[in-house]
């Protein structure tokens, strides 16, 4: 192995390592994470139980105390933010009639109304609605959606229990989400997410929350549920706030932190972000790889909080205004209490673009559901743009070719693994003429290999590189062979190979579908767990990845049999580089969706079989050799001196090579 080959391998290694860092999920010890999550849950349950005991004790102790406080006309001691001062134990500080401070242990539920306004945290009541697909908990505090459960789906942890029942998937729960209006009113900044609403009316599928503001003002949040749907309508009615609130200052804030639902937390985080659709500029999104934020550049037609297989959309009937609107996604630092349970934190603030606050209605629509292409396209709002099927031609191939065929196969009711197998065979059959062309080209190159090796031996010195190149090109011209003839068909296949790289990890139909030893084709398959975590590789062994790498290695060996070791000085040995890729694939794909590795394994295996069939039954190398020999004889008889015709490209190439050779001779 010479210096140039080593340099080429080092550069490729750097490129592939960079690709691995930015495109594969980081290594994560699943057992440790699950144990940590379980420990955190037990700790949270204990903390909750202890808190309840403390509250009950405080209630018993504080009721009489508050009666004494009220009777003696004691007043709460407030800080500069007008919050009740508390000591280190959490007790409230009151000032008696003599000006002395006294500590009072209490909870918000037993504070008098006059003191609740300065209390920092007040709990609301939960009201639950259920449809065919959703279970939604509404909180009277903020009149907001506190928790969403999807009845048809479950987390990976519940799925692997195999208990023959579906435990509704919790998309987020109380404490993970906050939605509400914010606006200046007088000297205060109102945030309805912290206000207690009353239930004005309630029916089976509809609930109306009301918040009184000012003397005659009110704010209503109206939720209308739908059966057999993943969405619900949401209206905000603002009345009687004219002269007290500036319409253009009314913002709607939406904060959310998704919980882990899939097998590998790092994979979910890798594709989670905030997406949004501008009214004129179209679809955009924040970075998936790191924390990011952006101020709106145009009016906004919808906002989406996306994770790997589920999303939440907020879409207004009238676009949100760009003034003051912004989007933000935050990641969790290592050691954060949410680092082992939540994906990322999403933050959006949008301007409702109101004209008045005396009698204004804002109509919106919430969506909480799967990232399924059919479901998203049913809304006809461009929701499917959040699916990362690739850009340009790769997306078109997936949407208009790969996906329709896959859906047709999957709709027959056969196992998902068989559907992938049939899809692979159909794709390979469609590409068979291209592979035929590639094999014919490789056969010609293999026939010429002895003559090319002879030319290389004839010109061993670097100074004769141009002569050697001209003689090789002449040999190609005379025989009708071309090294590019095999590259062009490969370039035609590349868009399909890259398209399916995006298709399988994105396709919702693979989620929690088992095949052979793979528990979930949307995640990695594991036949063994390693006692330690191997950098880049992980802590498990994926069999589909190994099979894919082995078949790729075999295919590479077959294809490299017609390659010369090194035709030009200064160029790395391509044979070594070709064998390097299958080995690196073991590291790249070990944490990828097993459905993708399975597809590549079947595809490469089919390519090997097709190549064997073409060689044995369809292509006669002896005939090809005879034709090439006859062409060489004809070229010798009709050479340039007798009017032989060359292509313009060959003429330009020979002129360029001759000019370079003349220049070298002049320098000498």
End-to-end Cα, the chain, rounded Å: 31
Instruction: State the DSSP H helix or E strand holding residue 601, giving kind and residue range, or none if neither.
Output: helix 594-613
Strand 92-95 with 75-76, pairing: antiparallel
* Residue scoring higher pLDDT (540 or 418): 418
* Residue scoring higher pLDDT (2 or 327): 327
* Residue scoring higher pLDDT (453 or 200): 200
* Mean pLDDT across 339-353: 93
Local structure of residue 616 (DSSP, 8 states) = I
Residue ranges of alpha helices (H) inside 614-644 are 621-637
* Strand ranges inside 241-291, DSSP E: 251-259, 273-278, 282-285
Residue 616: exposed, middle, or buried by beta-carbon count in 10 A (0-12, 13-18, 19+)? exposed
- Token pair listed for 482: 């071309």
Write the pLDDT tens digit of every residue in 350-407: 999 999 999 999 999 999 999 999 999 999 999 999 999 988 888 999 999 899 999 9
- Report residue 29's pLDDT band, with 50, 70 and 90 as the boundaries: very low
The dihedrals phi and psi of 557, each to the nearest 5 degrees, come to: -65, -40
Q: How far apart are CA 172 and CA 155, in angstroms?
A: 12
Local structure of residue 88 (DSSP, 8 states) = T
Write the pLDDT tens digit of every residue in 180-215: 999 998 888 999 999 999 999 999 999 999 999 878
Q: How far apart are CA 566 and CA 381, in angstroms?
A: 55
The side-by-side arrangement of strands in the sheet containing 75-76 is: 75-76, 92-95, 101-104
Write the pLDDT tens digit of every residue in 84-142: 777 655 666 766 544 555 555 544 444 444 444 444 456 788 999 999 999 999 999 99
Q: Which pLDDT belongs to residue 528?
A: 86
* Mean pLDDT across 232-248: 92
Residues 309-347, buried b or exposed e (16+ Cβ, 10 A)? bbbbbbbbeebbbbeebebbbebbeeeeeeebbbbbbbb
Instruction: State the DSSP H helix or E strand holding residue 12, giving kind and residue range, or none if neither.
Output: helix 3-23
Q: How far apart are CA 231 and CA 393, in angstroms?
A: 32
- Residues forming beta bridges with residue 366, ordered by sequence position: 232, 314
* Residue scoring higher pLDDT (18 or 522): 522
* Mean pLDDT across 264-282: 91
Q: What Å distances lie between residue 332 and 285, 290, 344, CA to CA?
A: 19, 10, 7
pTM over 0.75: no
CATH architecture of structural domain 126-387: Distorted Sandwich (2.70)
Residue closest to 170 by CA, chosen among 20, 40, 307: 307
Q: Which pLDDT belongs to residue 493?
A: 75
Q: Which sequence spans correspond to the domains of the chain? A: 72-116, 126-387, 388-518+623-668
Assess whether pLDDT exceeds 60 at residue 572: no
Q: What Å distances lie between residue 565 and 38, 311, 569, 578, CA to CA?
A: 56, 52, 11, 12
How confident is the prediction for the chain on average, in pLDDT?
A: 78
Assess whether pLDDT exceeds 80 at residue 541: yes
Assess whether pLDDT exceeds 70 at residue 22: no
Write the pLDDT tens digit of every residue in 549-561: 999 888 888 766 5
């Amino acid at each position: 192995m010479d210096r140039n080959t080593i340099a080429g391998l080092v550069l490729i290694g750097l490129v592939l390592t960079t690709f691995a860092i930015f495109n594969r999920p980081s290594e994560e010890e699943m057992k440790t994470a699950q144990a940590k999550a379980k420990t955190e849950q037990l700790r949270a349950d204990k903390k909750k139980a202890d808190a309840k005991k403390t509250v009950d004790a405080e209630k018993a102790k504080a009721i009489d105390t508050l009666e004494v406080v009220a009777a003696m006309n004691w007043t709460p001691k407030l800080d500069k933010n007008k919050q009740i001062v508390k000591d280190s134990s959490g007790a409230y500080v009151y000032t008696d009639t003599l000006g002395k401070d006294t500590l009072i242990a209490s909870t918000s539920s037993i504070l008098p109304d006059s003191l609740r306004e300065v209390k920092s945290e007040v709990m609301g009541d939960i009201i639950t609605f259920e449809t065919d697909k959703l279970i939604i908990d509404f909180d009277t505090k903020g009149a907001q959606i506190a928790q969403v459960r999807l009845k048809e789906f479950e987390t990976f942890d519940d799925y692997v229990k195999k208990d023959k029942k579906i435990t509704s998937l919790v998309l987020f729960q109380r404490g993970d989400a906050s939605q509400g209006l914010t606006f200046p009113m007088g000297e205060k900044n109102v945030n309805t997410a912290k206000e207690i609403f009353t239930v004005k009316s309630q029916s089976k599928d509809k609930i109306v929350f009301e918040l009184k503001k000012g003397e005659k003002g009110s704010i209503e949040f109206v939720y209308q549920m739908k059966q057999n749907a993943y969405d619900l309508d949401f209206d905000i009615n603002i009345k009687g706030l004219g002269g007290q609130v500036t319409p253009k200052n009314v913002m709607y804030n939406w904060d959310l932190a998704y919980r882990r639902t899939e097998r590998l937390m790092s994979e979910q985080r890798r594709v989670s972000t905030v997406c949004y659709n501008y009214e004129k500029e179209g679809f955009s999104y924040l970075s998936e790889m790191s924390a990011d934020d952006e101020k709106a550049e145009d009016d906004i037609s919808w906002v989406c909080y996306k994770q790997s297989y589920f999303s939440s959309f907020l879409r207004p009937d009238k676009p949100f205004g760009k003034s003051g609107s912004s989007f933000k996604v935050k990641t969790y630092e290592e050691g954060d209490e949410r680092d082992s349970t939540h994906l990322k934190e999403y933050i959006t603030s949008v301007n409702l673009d109101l004209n008045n606050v005396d009698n204004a209605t804002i109509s919106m629509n919430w969506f909480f559901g799967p990232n399924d292409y059919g479901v998203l396209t049913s809304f006809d709002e461009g929701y499917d743009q959040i699916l990362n099927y690739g850009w340009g031609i790769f997306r078109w191939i997936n949407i208009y070719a790969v996906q329709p065929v896959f859906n047709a196969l999957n709709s027959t009711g056969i196992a998902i693994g068989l559907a992938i197998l049939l899809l692979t065979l159909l794709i390979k059959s469609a590409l068979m003429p291209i592979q035929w062309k590639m094999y014919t080209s490789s056969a010609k190159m293999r026939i010429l290999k002895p003559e090319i090796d002879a030319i290389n031996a004839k010109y061993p010195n670097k100074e004769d590189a141009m002569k050697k190149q001209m003689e090789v090109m002449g040999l190609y011209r005379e025989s009708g062979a071309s090294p590019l003839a095999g590259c062009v068909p490969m370039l035609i296949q590349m868009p399909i190979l890259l398209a399916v790289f995006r298709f399988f990890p994105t396709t919702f139909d693979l989620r929690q579908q088992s095949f052979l030893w793979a528990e979930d084709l949307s995640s990695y398959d594991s036949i063994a767990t390693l006692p330690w975590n191997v950098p880049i590789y992980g802590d498990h062994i994926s069999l589909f990845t190994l099979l894919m790498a082995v078949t790729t290695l075999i295919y590479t060996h077959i294809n490299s049999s017609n390659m010369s070791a090194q035709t030009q000085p200064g160029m790395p040995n391509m044979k070594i580089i070709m064998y390097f890729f299958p080995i690196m694939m073991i590291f790249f794909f070990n944490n990828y969706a097993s459905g993708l590795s399975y597809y590549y394994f079947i595809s490469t295996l089919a390519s090997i079989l097709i190549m064997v069939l073409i060689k044995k039954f369809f292509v006669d190398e002896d005939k090809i050799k005879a034709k090439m020999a006859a062409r060489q004889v004809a070229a010798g008889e009709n050479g340039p001196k007798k009017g032989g015709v060359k292509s313009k490209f060959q003429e330009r190439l020979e002129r360029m090579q001759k000019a370079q050779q003349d220049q070298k001779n002049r320098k000498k």
